[in-house]
Amino acid sequence: MEALAQLLGGFAVALQPLNLVVAFLGVLIGTVVGMLPGIGPINAIAVLIPITFASGMPPESALILLAGIYYGSQFGNSISTILLNVPGTASAVVTALDGHAMTKLGRAGPALAMSAIASFVGGTLSVFGLVLFAPALAGWAIRFGPAEYVALMIFAFSALSSLTGGSVPKALLATGMGLFLATVGIDPHSAVPRFTFGQLKLLDGMDFVVVTVGLFAVSEVLQVLEETEQGQAVVTPFGRVRIRMQELVSTAWTMIRGSISGFFIGVLPGAGGTIASFVAYATEQRLVDREGTFGKGDIRGVAAPEAANNAAATGAMIPMLTLGVPGSGTTAVLLGALIGLNITPGPLLIQHNPEVFWGLAASMYIGNAFLLLLNLPLIGIFVRVLTVPRWFLLPAVAALSFIAVYAVNQSPFDLILMAGFGLLGYFLRKLRIPLAPIILGLVLGPLVEKNLRRALALSGGDWRVLFSSPLAIGLWAVAALSLLLPVLLSRAATARGAIASTSEPD
Amino acid sequence: MTKLPSDRIVGALCLLAAALIAIEARTFTVSFLTDPIGPKALPFLVAVLFAVAGGSLLARPQPEPSWPSRTIWLRGGMVVSSLALYASILPFLGFFVSTTLEVTVLALLFKGPPVKSVAAAVAYSGVLYLLFVYVFGLPLPVGSLFVGGN
């Protein structure tokens, strides 16, 4: 098998000492930020991007580090969910149902162990999917022309706007804001300055690290300021984190089913870990919950969503790596990082940068093994992070953000922009305007524009070129459908209880 | 007291933004033909998105968010203005001094105990400065006050 040989080559990359160290650091940081409510993987990745650039590490090491934070956070987010009923990210919301119920029954130890093992199963099984499907998708996408790319990116926008569960007009507004920010600066095609208002410092455009750190990290600091009144979390002791063999066997199929469905849902733009975990939970409830114990502390109710959201995190990397079109805020930030490292994600990535793709795939096995180690024997140490007081933690987040933003251009002006975006992000959060589409719009804006202009240049200005191939028409159709879907679903599912739409995107 | 729904205000602002973006985008002209649609197309598309979203929010505002109390606004405002102040003193006082001051202010705003807040700020700034300058090789400003002239 060719893929197997390639993967072995990937291990040669992933096992280099530097890459082992960064994989470990990545999953360690990921677990911590996933665990802490609010400080999500987007914050951590955005803050670390300029630091990885400055340290001059090779692109594959940078990606191994940043991706480690991403999938590591999926492990960590279940810890605060299970112990405190405070999901770190939206994709752990369902885990709270049975996970926290188990804590109340005094079974926090087995719940944490189950979540770590299910996350490991989801994380590793889905890497098989990545290795299998990414090259195939890349081979197919190589025929995409500019018109197909435009349609694909519109699909990514509309899917993210409709599937986050909030208001579609607000998500469209967020997409518009992102695209607007993308147009600020000198237009690379015609050298016309756009929306710079005579400010020389805006000619280079908005750096997505500055925008992301402001929108996510600084607004988070403001958000937490409001919550400091509520006092500090108290973690009850939970004894040993272990699980009986019998419980492990009884959840095996649940984990496998959750991994498979989670992986494929993760590949779809917009869907991501949140929907994957809901689907896996609902499926298991229908298939195995004969005694009606789901929601009352059933261990399978922890296994299903945790396997699914970790598998979805891997799945979400596929469109980002092989099409260059991310479907979520976090993968958009990863795409921005790759572009900054002079790696062009897209159908040719696997051929042109095999060390990046296969090195990443191999490192994900290693990273998941590290995560299992961190989350089983060492979890007691980790959980102490939850009791770190806010006044001590948040200023550290702020200080790291300053360094990251300053590192981009060595410019204090960027720090002022960051503060401005922080305030904006706070208002947007309050108004329930999602932040992830802004990042997606900002990162994909230049690509949409480039392809749109290229397609129309080829056709001599005839807009029908955008609908000229069956593939493009199909993509436009699913894009339109995804925007109508929430309207149709909300009519059907008002009785089924609302999906939490307030939490941060994964 | 009846208040204007927040979403209606946002909607109106969006319509205003859409108009301003469209007006500004009309000036993006190139003397020679680079491509059929030029630099205007995407800004116009953005204006349309703002207009559609704005109109929809104006017509159908959603339930009011829970805005924080006045004391929280005051503290939030202090956080944001301290960040702006930080940006302006950074080139002069350098990373270590500025960051120590800023982190102290933030820790105090988060109701940290005064002495510990200062200690934490000194520790963070010192460790981060040494880590980034000497380990990662990232240049952080020393401060023109200390270098003199430059």
Q: Which chain A positions have a beta carbon within 8 Å of B112's beta carbon?
A: 389, 391-392, 395
Contact across the interface for A176 and B53, Cβ inside 8 Å: yes
Evaluate whether A170 touches A434 at the Cβ level (below 8 Å).
yes
Q: Please give the full DSSP string across A31-75, using - where no structure is assigned.
A: HHHHHSSS--HHHHHHHHHHHHHHHT--HHHHHHHHHHHHHHHHH
Residue type present at position B64: E
Residue of A nearest to B8 (CA): A431
Of A224 and A280, more confident: A280
Looking at per-residue pLDDT, the higher value among A89 and A443 belongs to A443
Q: From B14, which residue of chain A is nearest by alpha-carbon distance?
A: A173
Residue A16: the pLDDT is 93
Cβ contact A392–B112 (<8 Å): yes
Best of A175, A195, A414 to disrupt the B interface by mutation (most B CBs within 10 Å)? A195
Nearest chain A residue to B34, by CA: A190
d(CA B126, nearest CA chain A) in Å: 11
For testing contact with chain B, the best of A226, A393, A401 (most B CBs within 10 A): A226
Minimal Cα–Cα distance from B137 to chain A, Å?
7
> How many other β-carbons are positioned within 10 Å of the β-carbon of residue A132?
11
Query: Which of B124, B132, B139 comes nearest A396 by C-beta?
Result: B124
Residue ranges of the alpha helices (H) in A269-389?
272-288, 300-315, 317-318, 329-340, 349-352, 354-375, 379-383
pLDDT recorded at residue A291 = 81
Nearest CA of chain A to the CA of B55: how many Å? 9
Interface test with A, best of B136, B140, B142 (most A CBs within 10 A): B136
For chain A, give the longest Cα–Cα distance. Answer: 70
Q: Which of A99-113, A226-240, A382-396 has the lowest mean pLDDT?
A: A226-240
Tally of residues, chain A = 506
pLDDT over 70 (residue B1)? no
Selecting from A51, A412, A445 the residue whose C-beta is nearest the C-beta of B91 gives A412
Interface with chain A: mutation pick from B46, B108, B115, B128, highest number of A CBs within 10 Å: B46
Q: Which amino acid belongs to residue A301? A: G
CB pair distance less than 8 Å for A402 and B99: yes
* 8 Å CB contact between B3 and B65: no
pLDDT value at A501 more than 70? no
pLDDT in tens, A346-376: 899 998 999 999 999 999 999 999 999 888 8
Give me the residue from B10, B34, B42 closest to A179, CB to CB: B42
The shortest C-alpha distance from A210 to chain B (Å) reads: 13
List of chain B residues whose C-beta atoms are within 8 Å of the C-beta of residue A225:
72, 75-76, 79, 109-110
Which residue among B87, B108, B113 sits closest to A416, beta carbon to beta carbon?
A: B87
Taking CB atoms and an 8 Å cutoff, what residues of chain A touch B124?
A: 395-396, 399
Please give the Cα distance from A385 to A400 (Å, whole number): 17
Among the ranges given (A228-242, A269-283, A332-346), the one the predictor scored with the smallest mean pLDDT:
A228-242
Average pLDDT across chain A, whole number: 87
Which of A234, A224, A226 has its CA nearest to residue A84? A234
Which tokens is A447 given?
């690509």
Q: Residue A312's pLDDT is what?
A: 93
* Contact by Cβ (8 Å): A54, A289: no
Q: Give the pair of three-digit tokens for residue B53.
A: 């979203």
For A473-491, the pLDDT digits (tens) are 999 999 998 888 777 766 6
Contact list, B109 vs chain A (CB under 8 Å): 225
- pLDDT at residue B114 in the model: 92
Query: In the predicted model, what is the mean pLDDT of residues B84-95?
Result: 92
Q: What is the pLDDT confidence band of residue A498, given thresholds at 50, 70 and 90? A: very low
- Exposure of A245 by Cβ count < 10 A (0-12 exposed, 13-18 middle, 19+ buried)? exposed
Give per-residue pLDDT as tens, A292-320: 888 888 999 999 999 999 999 999 999 99
pLDDT score for A40: 82
Residue B145 distance to chain A (closest CA, Å): 16
Asked if the Cβ–Cβ distance from A190 to B84 is below 8 Å, we say no
Closest CA–CA distance from residue B83 to any residue of chain A (Å): 6
How near does any CA of chain A get to the CA of B84, in Å? 5
- Shortest CB distance from B121 goes to which of A169, A395, A449? A395
The vertex-B31 CA angle with B30 and B33, nearest 5°, equals 75
Is A388:A186 a contact under the CB 8 Å cutoff? no
Strand, coil or helix: A193: strand
pLDDT at A232: 57
Contact across the interface for B86 and A402, Cβ inside 8 Å: yes
Rounded CA-CA distance A301/A279 in Å is 12
pLDDT at A230 over 80: no
- Asked if A406 lies within 8 A of B124 by C-beta distance, the reply is no
Closest residue in chain B to residue A412, using alpha carbons only: B87
| CB neighbour list of residue A461: distance below 8 Å, 6 or more residues apart | B36, B37
Q: Say what the pLDDT of residue A150 is.
A: 92
Q: Within 10 A of B74 (CB to CB), how many other CB atoms are there?
A: 11
**pLDDT of A494 over the 60 cut:** no
User: What's the token pair of residue B145?
Assistant: 């006050």
**Pairwise CB contact (< 8 Å): A431 & B84:** no
Q: What is the pLDDT of residues A127-147, one digit of tens each?
A: 999 999 999 999 888 888 899
Q: Which residues of chain A have a CB within 8 Å of the CB of B129?
A: none
Helix, strand, or coil here: A154?
helix
Interface pTM, i.e. ipTM: 0.91
The pLDDT value recorded for residue A231 is 55
- pLDDT tens digit sequence for A250-275: 888 999 999 999 999 999 887 778 88
pLDDT at A109: 87
Two tokens, residue B13:
């602002």
Name the 3-class secondary structure at A186: strand
Unique residue bearing structure tokens 């019998």: A246
Query: 3-state DSSP call for residue A189?
Result: coil
Look at residue A108 and tell me whether its pLDDT is greater than 90: no
> Exposed, middle or buried: residue A198 (CB in 10 Å: 0-12, 13-18, 19+)?
exposed
| Interchain CB contacts (distance < 8 Å): A and B | 185
d(CA A95, CA A117): 14
Q: Do B99 and A399 touch (CB under 8 A)?
A: yes
